[in-house]
């Protein structure tokens, strides 16, 4: 096992500027010993996938509160896969109606964290699911 | 016997006696439930407040009578006995047609003012057909790309009679222009129309982050609206200086108070600098606060806000004009406090938060719908939210006397503490060179992020309880509530109207007015007349904002 720290890209796609959640998560993951890169606001799926590749991250955490998740998330997953990042986990946090959850998972989203989730649960999920690298 | 300090006041002497004779034996028998009791802002609360806690306050100087300086007890001598607050529910979703129908429904149900929520593309100054708008058209509010949409939005709603509040910031001057042109087409006289434009760009850089241009030209656009409205639309409030979003982003109550009022001071300073007469434009500046869960802390915040504003307008700017000193504000219950879990509990939270707003003397109020942590409200949820206000107004009796909690030892001590905390922030921000400079340094942004993080940790440790989430959670939740779904057909509908608008208009005239607008912006003239001409020619929101982007550039958030 390598001692490589888990690397996470926290991303905020779409036009929404509500970044409270994204910033709290970024800080909590850092406090848990992970390396976190925050994209800043209004990133297109293309920009997010490019940043994920460049930063060689293990996971991308996508924060969406605007209702645009069905358009944006599958595209992010698809672009990552096209870049050969098959093990890179895509996590979604934000306001997502129950009925959209199964479809997002089918489209390759690893997990969706809804309002009220503890940051510790997200840390544990990453620790358990990020594939160790050679 | 304990020795009593010579300097102790009679109130302090009595307090010490009580502690020894009554409190200590009781604590021995029944210890308190926890070591420390804190507000939702994580501020320590004392066990008991007595006259000793407010001995530094002077009734005439600090509390006084309603309708008199420093307005701690309200700006109206009769409180709500004369006029109730305006019940103004924020609404907007999908197409202008759909929102127009919701507006008419709310007015039929006894709502007394309108408040428009725009979708994200509109808030960012993009048309519905921009690639950046994909997936967002009509989702978080109503989609408006040109005057043609605005005409549908207010169809059959007489703008000379109904006051309308518009939540729009970076492109506010354009939406104001559209509103004025629609009013004009209805035959309304601009000198008679009233309403409010949010137009608070500083809090966008601080908290909500829907910006377009760099800070200084954006402030110039705000000052343009002040100047234009003062002359041409004198009953209109060209700005609503907003703490709401600052609070939602994680600020404490005291930070919300401090940053919002310091933003207000910054706008006044810029207006005065531009040569405007303070006592003509400041009376039309309104404010907008959050109503969060901690009941007394919120009421103290509103009372402190009025007192600080009156004192600052007098001490910083030398105004003695009553209307300049009187702070008027709108209140909205805290969206961030609503839970997805057991959503009907939100009805109770909203009622208590709304009551705090009323006891704080708000001029208008929006109550959130219980389903707003899930989606935009359904008709049914929106109706209960409105009925909540009507129950407070008509059934509880809190409106019968002015500032009913004034004189409470706790509330007065808390009001004083709020004021002192805000003044401490003012000193720091003044030392940085004002609010624009403080924002450029990332100061308020970092303070808010820190508070948001500490609050999240307090929730995760169980120190801050959220019923149904970290306490009394249910694995088997009661049946889900129905939610409003906005599908992609909205985009198609909006693209059709946009296409028609672009075909029907005189494109030469559009190019011409956009060029005039750029010239006005470059020459540092007031941009409002050219913006109104552009809107009349059916130039779209995206085209107008793009013209201004060419001149002003765009804002890039520094990393902090």
Instruction: Search chain B and give the residue with CA nearest A72.
Output: B135
| Short-list B108, B80, B102, CA closest to B364 | B80
CB B153 within 8 A of CB B186: no
For the stretch B75-119, pLDDT in tens is 999 999 999 999 998 888 899 999 999 999 989 988 888 999 999
DSSP track, B3-70: PPPTT--HHHHHHHHHIIIIIHHHHHHS--S-S--B-TT--B--S---GGGGTT--IIIII--TTSTT
Q: What per-residue confidence (pLDDT) applies to B11? A: 85
| Short-list B73, B2, B11, CA closest to B48 | B11
Instruction: Search chain A and give the residue with CA nearest B248.
Output: A20
8 Å CB contact of A115 and B485: no
B452 closest CB neighbour out of A20, A67, A116 = A20
Is residue A14 less than 8 Å (CB to CB) from chain B? Answer: yes
B557 closest CB neighbour out of A41, A71, A97 = A41
pLDDT(B125) > 60: yes
8 Å CB contact of B460 and A70: no
pLDDT(B33) > 50: yes
8 Å CB contact of B374 and A15: no
8 Å CB contact of A115 and B340: yes
d(CA B322, CA B282): 11
CB B180 within 8 A of CB B103: no
8 Å CB contact of B136 and A68: yes
Summarize the confidence of residues A112-128 as an average pLDDT.
Answer: 95
Taking residue B466's Cβ as centre, other Cβ atoms within 10 Å add up to 18
Give exposure, B309-324, as e/b (b: 16+ Cβ within 10 Å): bbbbbbeebebeeeeb
Residue identified by tokens 């940085």 is B432
For the stretch B181-211, pLDDT in tens is 999 999 999 999 999 999 999 999 999 999 9
Q: What per-residue confidence (pLDDT) applies to B504? A: 97
How far is B214 from chain A, CA to nearest CA, in Å?
15
CB B418 within 8 A of CB B39: no
For the stretch B240-259, pLDDT in tens is 999 999 999 999 999 999 99
Percent of chain B at pLDDT > 90 equals: 90
B339: chain A residues, CB-CB within 8 Å: 115-116
Q: What 3-state class would DSSP assign to B152?
A: helix
Q: Where are the beta strands (DSSP E) in B168-207?
A: 195-197
Q: What per-residue confidence (pLDDT) applies to B1? A: 45
- Residues 32-91 on A with a CB inside 8 Å of B are 40-42, 44, 66-68, 70-72
- Interface A:B, Cβ pairs < 8 A: 88
How far is B374 from chain A, CA to nearest CA, in Å?
6
Summarize the confidence of residues B508-530 as an average pLDDT.
Answer: 98
Instruction: Locate B118 and state its tokens.
Output: 């725009």
Sign of torsion over alpha carbons A118, A124, A129, A130: positive
pLDDT(B41) > 80: yes
Q: CA gyration radius for chain B?
A: 25
Residues A18/B498/B222/B230 CA torsion (nearest 10 deg) = -140
Q: What 3-state class would DSSP assign to B309?
A: helix
Q: What per-residue confidence (pLDDT) applies to B89? A: 87
B374 closest CB neighbour out of A15, A19, A95 = A95
CB A60 within 8 A of CB A89: yes
**The domain A7-129: what is its CATH number?**
3.40.50.280
**The domain B59-398+405-460: what is its CATH number?**
3.20.20.240
Instruction: Search chain B and give the residue with CA nearest A68.
Output: B135
d(CA A118, CA B469): 10
pLDDT(B441) > 80: yes
Which pLDDT band, with edges at 50, 70 and 90, does A2 fall under?
Answer: low
Q: In what order do the strands lie in the sheet with A7-11?
A: A35-38, A7-11, A59-64, A89-94, A111-113
Summarize the confidence of residues B38-42 as an average pLDDT.
Answer: 95
A66 closest CB neighbour out of B136, B249, B339 = B136
Which pLDDT band, with edges at 50, 70 and 90, does A134 fall under?
Answer: low
d(CA B553, CA B547): 10
Residue identified by tokens 């300090």 is B5
For the stretch B453-510, pLDDT in tens is 999 999 999 999 999 999 999 987 776 788 888 888 999 999 999 999 999 999 999 9
Provide the pairing of β-strand B236-237 with B239-242.
Answer: unpaired
Summarize the confidence of residues A16-44 as an average pLDDT.
Answer: 95
Summarize the confidence of residues A122-128 as an average pLDDT.
Answer: 97
For the stretch B346-371, pLDDT in tens is 999 999 999 999 999 999 999 999 99
Q: What is the mean pLDDT of chain B?
A: 95
What secondary structure letter does DSSP report for B335?
G
d(CA B98, CA B95): 5
Which pLDDT band, with edges at 50, 70 and 90, does B3 fall under?
Answer: low
Instruction: Search chain B and give the residue with CA nearest A13.
Output: B132
How far is A117 from chain B, CA to nearest CA, in Å?
9
Which pLDDT band, with edges at 50, 70 and 90, does B450 fall under?
Answer: very high
B124: chain A residues, CB-CB within 8 Å: 15
Is residue A18 less than 8 Å (CB to CB) from chain B? Answer: yes
Q: What per-residue confidence (pLDDT) applies to B447? A: 98
Is residue A28 less than 8 Å (CB to CB) from chain B? Answer: yes
How far is B247 from chain A, CA to nearest CA, in Å?
11
Is residue A95 less than 8 Å (CB to CB) from chain B? Answer: yes
Q: What per-residue confidence (pLDDT) applies to B479? A: 67
B130: chain A residues, CB-CB within 8 Å: none
Summarize the confidence of residues B525-541 as an average pLDDT.
Answer: 98
CB B291 within 8 A of CB B354: yes
B486 closest CB neighbour out of A14, A17, A67 = A67
């Amino acid at each position: 096992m390598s001692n490589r720290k888990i690397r996470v890209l926290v991303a905020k796609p779409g036009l929404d500027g509500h970044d409270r959640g994204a910033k709290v998560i970024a800080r909590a993951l850092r406090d848990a010993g992970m390396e976190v890169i925050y994209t800043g606001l209004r990133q297109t799926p293309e920009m997010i996938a490019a940043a994920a590749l460049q930063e060689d991250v293990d996971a991308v955490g996508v924060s969406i509160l605007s209702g645009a998740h069905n358009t944006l998330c599958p595209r992010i997953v698809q672009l990552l896969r096209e870049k050969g990042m098959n093990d890179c986990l895509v996590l979604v946090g934000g306001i997502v109606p129950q009925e959209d959850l199964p479809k997002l998972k089918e489209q390759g989203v690893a997990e969706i964290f809804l309002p009220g989730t503890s940051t510790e649960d997200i840390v544990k999920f990453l620790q358990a699911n990020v594939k160790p690298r050679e | 016997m304990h020795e009593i300090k010579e300097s102790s006041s009679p109130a302090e002497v009595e307090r010490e006696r009580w502690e020894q004779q009554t409190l200590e034996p009781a604590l021995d028998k029944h210890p308190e439930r926890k070591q420390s009791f804190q507000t939702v802002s994580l501020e320590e609360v004392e066990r008991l407040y007595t006259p000793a806690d407010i001995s530094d306050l002077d009734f005439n100087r600090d509390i006084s009578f309603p309708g008199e300086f420093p307005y701690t007890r309200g700006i109206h001598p009769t409180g709500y006995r004369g006029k109730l607050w305006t019940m103004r529910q924020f609404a907007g979703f999908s197409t202008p047609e759909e929102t127009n129908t919701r507006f008419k429904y709310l007015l039929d149900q006894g709502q007394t003012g309108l408040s428009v929520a725009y979708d994200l593309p509109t808030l960012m100054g993009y048309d519905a057909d921009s690639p950046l708008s994909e997936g967002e058209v009509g989702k978080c509010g109503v989609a408006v790309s040109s005057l043609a949409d605005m005409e549908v939005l207010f169809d059959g709603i007489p703008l000379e009679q109904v006051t309308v509040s518009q939540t729009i910031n970076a492109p506010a001057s354009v939406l104001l222009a559209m509103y004025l042109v629609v009013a004009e087409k209805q035959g309304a006289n601009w000198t008679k129309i009233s309403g409010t434009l949010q137009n608070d760009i500083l809090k966008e850089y601080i908290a909500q982050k829907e910006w377009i241009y760099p800070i200084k030209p954006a402030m110039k656009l705000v000052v343009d609206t002040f100047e234009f409205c003062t002359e041409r639309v004198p009953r209109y409030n060209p700005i609503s200086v907003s703490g709401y979003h600052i609070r939602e982003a994680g600020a404490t109550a005291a930070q919300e108070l401090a940053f919002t009022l310091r933003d207000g001071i910054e706008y006044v300073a810029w207006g005065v600098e531009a040569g405007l007469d303070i006592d003509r434009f400041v009376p039309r500046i309104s404010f907008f606060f959050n109503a969060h869960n901690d009941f007394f802390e919120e009421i103290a915040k509103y009372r402190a806000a009025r007192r600080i504003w009156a004192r600052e307008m007098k001490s910083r700017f030398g105004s003695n004009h009553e209307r300049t000193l009187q702070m008027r504000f709108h209140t909205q219950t805290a969206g961030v406090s609503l839970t997805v879990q057991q959503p009907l509990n939100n009805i109770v939270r909203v009622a208590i938060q709304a009551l705090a707003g009323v006891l704080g003397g708000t001029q208008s109020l929006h109550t959130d719908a219980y389903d707003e942590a899930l989606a935009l409200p359904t008709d049914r949820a929106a109706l209960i939210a409105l009925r909540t206000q009507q129950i407070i107004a008509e059934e509880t009796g809190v409106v019968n006397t002015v500032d009913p909690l004034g004189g409470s030892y706790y509330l007065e001590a808390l009001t004083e503490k709020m004021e002192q905390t805000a003044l401490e922030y003012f000193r720091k921000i003044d030392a940085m060179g004002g609010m624009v400079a403080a924002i450029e340094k990332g100061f308020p942004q970092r303070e808010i992020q820190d508070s948001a993080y500490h609050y999240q940790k307090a929730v995760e440790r169980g120190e801050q309880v959220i019923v149904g989430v970290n306490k009394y959670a249910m694995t088997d939740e009661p049946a889900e509530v129905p939610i409003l779904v906005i599908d992609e057909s909205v985009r198609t509908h909006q693209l059709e109207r946009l296409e028609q608008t672009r075909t029907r208009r005189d494109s030469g005239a559009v190019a011409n007015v956009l060029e005039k607008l750029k010239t006005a912006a470059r020459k540092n003239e007031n941009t409002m007349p050219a913006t109104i001409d552009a809107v009349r020619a059916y130039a779209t929101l995206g085209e107008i904002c793009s013209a201004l982007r060419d001149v002003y550039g765009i804002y890039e958030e520094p990393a902090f």
